[in-house]
Structure 1
Amino acid sequence: MLNVRVISPSDRTDAALTLLHGDAGATLITVQRGAAVEPAGDLIECVVARESADDVLTALTELGITRRGSIALREVDTLLSEVAEEAVESAPAPTSDSVVWQELVAQTGEAATLTPSFLAFITIACLLAVVGVATDSAVTIVGAMVVGPEFGPLAATAVALVRKDFRLAAHSALALLVGFPFAMGIAWPATLLFDYWGWISPDSLDHLRNVDFIYKVGPFSMVVALLAGAAGMLAIMTPKSAALVGVFISVTTIPAAGFAVVAATMGEWHKAFMSIGQLAVNMVGIVAAGTIVLWLRPRHMVRGGSLDRLRRWWLSDNA
């Protein structure tokens, strides 16, 4: 379940309470009149079953609360309440299978934003990949996979395609189109230094045993990307953080970028282009799988229920 905390303008509080009372999935509703100072208003808190959350949040947003107040969500890990259990049972489907679109858009949007920390993480991951290739160390390659932040923009791209959110799509594209070249640009002089110091040589790329999978594109490359993309999107939606870590370890996006830098620096252009191909296959597969998973989920709130009737009644009376 989700804890919903609303700062409501005073002239919207009664309507918000009516909407919450009209949804069977919302319970443990409390209100503190005049409790909010900035912005001024009332504080409303309640617990909402995940299946009902999308309808509730959409209804509250249509009341104009987000323009003059706020809505905050927090996952409830433990809740001892028979009343809350009844609310969960009243939801039309199992709560673990529901999608809270506002939450999903907010999470992926934040992960897709190009920030200094994003550039730092993707650069560190690419440098780790370079070291992993230079030392033929699968462990270091796995470390690069875990550190890499690229799944966020890829997941956001899938959300943007389903929601037709061009702003989110633009942010995701910017993060990927700037992040990867930036990281590879930093990794290139580092590779030159490793070559100058004698830590890596062209011959070393011919004797790889543990990390040669990075540049070898095969039918399983797309299969793994599709499975990882589907699992990653499900992990974000549910949410299951442990599963998401497994997704990071499954795909070879950052390692492929690092391998391409090393191969190009060593003059192994064939392997460099194969690495770029591996990178492209993984990115396309992740986005495609994430999009398919989202399309298979409910995308629109159910119209015609008591909550929808109450919302339409309020909007018609306050038009």
Structure 2
Amino acid sequence: MRLVQVLIPEGNRSSVLDALDEEGIDYAVFEEVGRGDFEAMVQFPVPPSGVEPVMEDLVEAGIREHAYTIVLPTETVVSERLSALVERFPGLRISREELYARAQDLAPANSTFFAFLILSTVIATTGLLLDSAATIIGAMVVAPLMGPAISASVGAILDDPKMASRGVTLQVTGLLAAILTAAVMGWLLKQTVLIPPGLDIRTIPQVAERTSPNFLSLFLALGSGIAGSLSIMRGSGSTLVGVAIAVALVPPAATSGLGIAFGLPGVAIAGAVLVVVNLLAINVSALVLFFLAGFKPLEAGRFEGVRASVFSRIVVIGIAIAVLSIVLGAVTWTTFQTQDFEQRTQNELQQRFDEADIEGVDLVSVTVDYTPVDLVLGNEPRVSVLVGIPRDLEAPPDLAQRWDDDLTAEFGRDVVVRVGFIEAQISDGRTPAGQPRPEGRLATGV
């Protein structure tokens, strides 16, 4: 429930109270003893979703824009007559005035925003280099990106160009600052003993995860934007939801910066593409949800113009996401193709060994070196096979070529097969004297 307090301008007392009576709202009237422009203050409880329509009625009854209106959350309201109001104003959506106030509170001062964002990037970059998911998640708690993401959409919906512009500016400049911070930090760490010489950051799983973005990354961003919007509209869990938004933005930005620091343009571009796609997805999902929730501009006459502006903004962002999604689609398809080839190759070779059933010969391992980049560039897959054979069995000299021909015919593409042999020895579980080895004891010998 909300407790609304409104100062009634001179000469409008009766019309305001009549409007409340028509709504069936219980109220209390206090004589105003402050400024002479107001003759009384009226106070009444109303469900959150009822604040906006009731205030629209009061504006028509004479409540001017410069009048004071205070909306307070209440813990408990005890009244037998409230059930009718709850039925009349169902739902949990807050008013546009309350949404506007929350969006303003979420966007911190510039100095605070950049301080927390840089600290978050430093922690996230450390987590990437350490391959520590826990450290990266901890960094997301610090990141202040939810405020600008939400305020940009709220400003667009409520026709506040200044709020929308500031939200967009903070997001763009903040993420550029994050990339720059990670780049500088990566370069400085390379000059120290904290990073091994010749480290290839592409082999770090947490980095590799951000350099191979696919459509699942888009779902993360869309879900984060929707969750952030819902938390603001219903006033629950906005801090924790902000972590999800930060997860979609800060780690890939830090990855892009590390790509710059280590001279890997592929890593830098992949991380930057993921940042841009996620940023657009978060903003468009929040914008669509606020629009579907029925929020209108603070000035009623601006609704049609704002609706056209919101539609055009959604279309532009949607087109940008679609264009960038070509990259995501390409990564998704190439990743599937390479992983499918690896799985099929391993199954094919294992099947051949099972069918041969040669005593003492064992397939130790099959490793396929075939990345999405290799698929795009047309490089041949490299298959490394390790076979265990007894000492008295001679290794076939042309086994690699035979498997090369078989795999090429099976999959319709050239491959390079490398076969290694190791001497396999298999124990029979018995002692030299022919007696079973006692359980629970380790037989040793020199």
Give the TM-score, by structure 1 length. Answer: 0.80
- Verify the 8 A CA contact 1:125 1:145 in the aligned structure 2: yes
Larger radius of gyration: 2
Counterpart for residue 84 of structure 2: 86
In structure 1, the residue corresponding to 2:271 is in which secondary structure?
Answer: helix
**Letter matched to residue 22 of structure 2:** G
In structure 2, the residue corresponding to 1:252 is in which secondary structure?
Answer: helix
Counterpart for residue 208 of structure 1: 204
**Letter matched to residue 218 of structure 1:** N
**Letter matched to residue 6 of structure 1:** V
- Verify the 8 A CA contact 2:178 2:250 in the aligned structure 1: no
1:95 to 91, 106, 110: 91
Q: Matches of 1:179 and 1:38 in 2, distance apart?
A: 47
In structure 1, the residue corresponding to 2:260 is in which secondary structure?
Answer: helix
- Verify the 8 A CA contact 1:134 1:204 in the aligned structure 2: no
**Letter matched to residue 23 of structure 2:** D
Matches for 1:146-185 after TM superposition, within 5 Å: 146-185=141-180
How many residues are aligned here?
A: 294
Q: Matches of 1:16 and 1:136 in 2, distance apart?
A: 63
Q: Matches of 1:118 and 1:6 in 2, distance apart?
A: 34
**Letter matched to residue 18 of structure 2:** T
Tell me which protein shows more helix as a share of its residues: 1
Deviation at 1:8, TM superposition (A): 4.1
Identity %: 22
1:31 to 29, 32, 35: 29
Structure with more relative contact order (C-alpha pairs < 8 Å, separation 6 or more): 1
In structure 2, the residue corresponding to 1:46 is in which secondary structure?
Answer: strand
Deviation at 1:164, TM superposition (A): 4.2
Counterpart for residue 280 of structure 2: 284
Residues 249 and 173 of structure 1: CA distance in aligned 2, closer, same or farther (over 3 Å): closer
- Verify the 8 A CA contact 1:7 1:36 in the aligned structure 2: no
**RMSD, aligned CA:** 2.9
**Letter matched to residue 292 of structure 2:** L
Residues 169 and 203 of structure 1: CA distance in aligned 2, closer, same or farther (over 3 Å): same
- Verify the 8 A CA contact 2:184 2:261 in the aligned structure 1: no
**Letter matched to residue 251 of structure 2:** P
- Verify the 8 A CA contact 1:146 1:249 in the aligned structure 2: no
Q: Matches of 2:151 and 2:209 in 1, distance apart?
A: 27
1:245 to 2:240 alignment = yes
Give the TM-score, by structure 2 length. Answer: 0.59
In structure 2, the residue corresponding to 1:206 is in which secondary structure?
Answer: helix
Deviation at 1:156, TM superposition (A): 2.2
1:130 to 2:128 alignment = no
1:53 to 2:51 alignment = yes
Deviation at 1:117, TM superposition (A): 1.5
- Verify the 8 A CA contact 1:112 1:172 in the aligned structure 2: yes
Gaps of at least 5 residues in structure 1 are 302-319
Q: Matches of 1:38 and 1:81 in 2, distance apart?
A: 33
* 1:47-83 residue CA offsets vs partner (Å, 9 max, x unmatched): 111222111233445645441x322222223333322
